[in-house]
Structure 1
Amino acid sequence: MNKLRSKELKRIARQNLTGNYQNMMGGFLLIVLISFVIDLPFSMLLDTVYATTAQKIMYYVAEILISLIMSVLQIGLIHMHIMLINRKPVRATDVFFCIKNHSDRFFGGAILYFVFSTIAQAPMIIARIFIGFSYEKIMTDIALIATSAILMIILSLTLPLYYYVLITNEQLSVFKCLTKAVSLMKGNILRLIYIELSFIGMFVLGILSLGIGFLWIEPYYQQTITCMYMEITGKLPDPDTDPVFDQYV
């Protein structure tokens, strides 16, 4: 079976989003706002010269918990994109799906991914906290940061579909979802890189718009990656032949 080119995946993504952008943007905006609101008090707690050790510990623990909550909401957003492809109506509040349904599974999955992410960032954390950035230790700092960068790239190229597998394979444990996600990327890494590169121009425009442009860019990008996942697993409907689905009002 021939793989769809990124241009075709993006065309399908745009077609799927037609008439649905408002709900998908709403889900993304909800995540951004929730992250800002719950993170602000702890950021203010640390952003002071007089922050105590206990306050700093509280801050970092809070940041970990917030990160896990955001990850579960992100899985909910992925759920919305999969629903969109499957011609099911979506609402912005569907972003809370994973909080309301089997939250233990999704938090477990988020924790597992967080562990791998922390391992990948460990060299950089060591350079920042335990060694400290200084001219005398610049070569050590560069080596540790480069190691983290390589590990993060490997992680992003081998596990980009982990949350997709987690939410579409309820019969699999979080660990088996991890191994399946890795296997799905075999033969698809270069295609993922090409898709990522094709969005660079849009990402730059999003930054230049002070982030406002990402309200349009993020749903388009996420839907394209979702289309790739559905195609890899053989579950991508043909948007030109399948009936149009009703939407929530």
Structure 2
Amino acid sequence: MIKETSNQLKARARGTLLGHYGLPIGASILTTAAIMTLEGLISLVVPKNTAGVLISYLTMLIAAIFSTLLQTGYQYLLLNMARGKKAELKDLIYPFQTMPDHVILLAVRLFLLTLACMLPFLGGLIIFALFYQLLISRIIMVLLLIVSFFLILRMTLDYSQIFLLYLDNPYLSCREIMYQSKNLMKGNRIRYFYLLVSFVGIALLGVVSLGIGFLWITPYMSMTEVEFYRDLINEHSQEF
């Protein structure tokens, strides 16, 4: 089955958002504000001592979990909009109410896989530390850094759809969700990578606008990723 191009997916995203930017912009602001408020409270409450450092790591973990749940809720809101369903701000708390442990476990698995992908580079650092006076040690470290980079990139692309798959199948096991994501991305990794890279230009415009442009850019990018997911599961073909 022929998949849609990046331009077609972006056109779909613009069509869905046209005249309806208010809700995703408001949801994006609310999400960012909630995350920043939590992180700010953590920095104020955590003591500045040795014990505070340990507590800080724990609270940072809690903040990361909260952020992941909230961002998944944001995807749920956009997914509802893309499907022509009623979308509301309360969609943001959907992951908090529906199998939140699955979202957390998926995030933990991604984190552990990322660490595993970094092992070659860590090995390179050890070799460099032991034989730093040898040029070959630096070459090996750089090569292993490149290996780790490509492992992380491959892993990120393979499991890029897990949270959207969770939203459609919240009671499915984490193992099955990750398997389905990897299966869906077979033959689509380069297409997805190209889609992400194609946003570099507009992201730079957002930076130039001192971040104000991201109020519109963030929903646009996120909605396009939602449309990519819908294309992967052949949902677009069912509209005709």
User: Do the structures match in fold with TM over 0.5?
Assistant: yes
Measured at CA, do residues 127 and 79 of structure 1 come closer, stay the same or move farther in structure 2, by a change above 3 Å?
farther
1:160-182 Cα offsets, whole Å, 9 max, x none, are 11111111123521111001101
The answer to which structure has the higher helix fraction is: 2
Q: Aligned Cα RMSD in Å?
A: 3.1
* In the alignment, structure 1 residue 214 sits paired with structure 2 residue 214: yes
Structure 1, gaps ≥5 residues long: 242-249
1:72-115 Cα offsets, whole Å, 9 max, x none, are 11111111121112111212331111112232332333333333
1:3-58 Cα offsets, whole Å, 9 max, x none, are 11111111011001122211111222222111111112334578xxx942221111
Match in the other structure for 2:103:
106
Amino acid at match of 1:169: N
Q: Which one of the candidate residues 31, 43, 49 is aligned to 1:52?
A: 49
Mean Cα deviation higher: 177-186 or 20-29? 20-29
Correspondences of 1:80-99 after superposition (within 5 Å): 80-99=77-96
Structure 2, gaps ≥5 residues long: none
Runs of 4+ in 1 over 6 A off after TM superposition: 122-128, 135-138
* In the alignment, structure 1 residue 5 sits paired with structure 2 residue 2: no
Match in the other structure for 2:72:
75
Match in the other structure for 1:246:
none
Task: Give the 3-state SS of the residue equivalent to 2:153 in structure 1.
Answer: helix
Measured at CA, do residues 8 and 43 of structure 1 come closer, stay the same or move farther in structure 2, by a change above 3 Å?
same
1:195, CA displacement in angstroms? Answer: 0.9
Mean Cα deviation higher: 102-111 or 66-75? 102-111
Task: Give the 3-state SS of the residue equivalent to 1:89 in structure 2.
Answer: coil
* In the alignment, structure 1 residue 176 sits paired with structure 2 residue 176: yes
Correspondences of 1:231-242 after superposition (within 5 Å): 231-236=231-236
Measured at CA, do residues 175 and 238 of structure 1 come closer, stay the same or move farther in structure 2, by a change above 3 Å?
closer
Partner Cα separation in structure 2 for residue 171 and residue 93 of structure 1: 20
Correspondences of 1:200-211 after superposition (within 5 Å): 200-211=200-211
Match in the other structure for 1:167:
167
Amino acid at match of 1:76: G
Identity of paired residues, percent?
25
Partner Cα separation in structure 2 for residue 136 and residue 113 of structure 1: 36
Q: How many residues align?
A: 233
* TM-score of the two chains, using structure 2 as the length reference: 0.83
Mean Cα deviation higher: 165-174 or 80-89? 165-174
Amino acid at match of 2:201: G
Partner Cα separation in structure 2 for residue 63 and residue 122 of structure 1: 23
Amino acid at match of 2:177: C
| Conserved 8 A contact 1:76-1:94 | yes
Amino acid at match of 1:113: L
Task: Give the 3-state SS of the residue equivalent to 1:172 in structure 2.
Answer: coil
Amino acid at match of 1:167: L
